[in-house]
Structure 1
């Protein structure tokens, strides 16, 4: 399925990111959640926060969603990422576990 409707919990996550809400961003992940940012993997709240402080929430990032695809437990969001750290079309793949995000993988869109 490809459309603009983002299923939960990814929709709430994108909203948290766009309003720079660090607590909601971190709370969106499972305890052992991970971020794979172009092959650099950050696991657990402390590592994700450290990465985000420099490259995501701390860089005032925003994501303008262009495409959404749902396949099984994975939600793919492609959009225009803008921040003080990096800019450009990016692909975010979210592995969802229950009502939390188990892993977010970021690649070129």
Structure 2
């Protein structure tokens, strides 16, 4: 069953597509993690360095194809387009409270 995005993730994707680096990093918990195809970036400084090269800094946009929720976890399959990489990927979000605790990117 395809569902709607929780407000936190809808706002997050909107900030990504607007290339709003401040809103992007503000969505993560202070000990948040990005797992980009097995490469882990932990904490705001590491996530910002990664994003500056490969996410926000590469003018990326994400077009949502499907959304599936499992408790506090949401899987967004989307078409990612940027100057760094392109293609369909699965973005799995773990949420703790009102922040993203982990974003895992894998093959969609």
TM-score where L is the length of structure 2: 0.98
Partner Cα distance (2:23, 2:56) in 1: 11
Aligned residue pair count: 108
**How much does 1:25 deviate?**
0.1
Map of 1:16-95 to 2, 5 A cutoff?
16-95=15-94
1:53-104 per-position Cα deviation (integer Å, ceiling 9, x unaligned): 0000000000000100011110110010000000000000000011110000
- The 8 Å contact of residues 76 and 91 in structure 1, kept in 2 or not, is answered as yes
RMSD: 0.7
Unaligned runs of 5+ in 2: none
Asked if the contact 1:63/1:79 (under 8 Å) is kept, the reply is yes
Q: Which TM-score applies when normalising by structure 1?
A: 0.97
